[in-house]
Amino acid sequence: QVQLMQSGGGSVQVGGSLRLTCVASGNTYRRNCMGWLRQAPGKKPEGVASIDSDGASTFADSVQGRFLISRVNDENTLTLEMNDLKPEDTAMYYCAAELSRSSFCRWYLVPDFGRRGQGTQVTVSS
């Protein structure tokens, strides 16, 4: 199983950009579906984006066109580029991993993935 360590995040004004990075340990990384989820105070976790081992990605409607997810299998890294940030993007963000087939690698399934990073806060102020 993979272990996940996150970095990045922070505070930004509306319209700004941030990058989140997740580094995985373990030799099964490239077989994992990877993704990002977020949780705002008082709300349930919600999936944001997913990417399978071949680089095919899916996004929640709320972030489509603003967020980009990418991975480099040889470096065991996962990145979330967040652009045109809005106050409603404010949340704790987690990277997540799950050994699964590509057909199950979907953004809305990410909250159920078995492995998560430690979380990083993203705050967008107006």
pLDDT band per the 50, 70, 90 thresholds, residue 103: confident
Q: Which two tokens stand for residue 61?
A: 């409607």
User: What is the pLDDT, as a whole number, of residue 43?
Assistant: 97
Tokens 């373990």 appear where? 26
Give the residue-averaged pLDDT of 53-68.
97
How many helices (H) does the chain have, and how many strands (E)? 0, 11
pLDDT band per the 50, 70, 90 thresholds, residue 102: confident
